[in-house]
Amino acid sequence: MKKICFFLSVLLLSFFSVYGQVINIKIANIAPERSPWDIELKKMAQEWNKITNGKVRLTFINAVTLGDETGVIKKITSVRPGQKSPLQGGVFSPPGIHSLAPDAGIYTLSVPFLIRSQEELDLVLDKFGGKIKDAIRKAGYEVITWSNVGWLSFYTTSPVNSLADLKKLRIASAGLDNNVLHQAFAACGFRTMSVTSDKLAQSLQSKDGVQGFYSVPMYAYAMGFTKYITDVIDAKICPVVAALLISNDTWNSVPEEFKPALLESVENTKERLNASLEQSDRTYLQNMEKEGVRLKKLDAEELAVWAGDFQKDVEALTKSVDVFDVELLNEINQYLTEYRKSR
Residue among 220, 234, 232 nearest 294 (CA):
232
pLDDT at 20: 61
pTM of the model: 0.86
Per-residue model confidence (pLDDT) at position 91: 93
Residue 105: pLDDT band with limits 50, 70, 90: very high
* Pairing assessment for the beta strands 238-247 and 89-92 based on DSSP bridges: antiparallel
Across the chain, mean pLDDT equals 88
3-state secondary structure of 80: coil
The model's pLDDT over 281-333, given as tens digits with 9 standing for 90+, comes to 999 999 999 999 999 998 889 888 888 888 888 777 777 777 889 999 999 99
- Count Cβ atoms within 10 A of the Cβ of residue 324 and give its class: 0-12 exposed, 13-18 middle, 19 or more buried: buried
CB atoms within 10 A of CB 306: 19
Handedness of CA 83, 86, 89, 94 (dihedral sign): negative
| Class of the domain covering 21-342 | alpha beta
Query: What confidence tens digit (pLDDT) does each residue in 137-191 have?
Result: 999 999 999 989 899 999 999 999 888 999 999 999 887 766 777 777 888 888 9
Q: What is the pLDDT of residue 234?
A: 93
Higher pLDDT, 195 or 204: 204
Cβ neighbours of residue 325 closer than 8 Å, sequence gap 6 or more: 105, 108
CB 202 within 8 A of CB 326: no
The domain locations on the chain are 21-342
| 11-40 pLDDT, tens digit each | 444 444 445 689 999 999 988 788 888 899
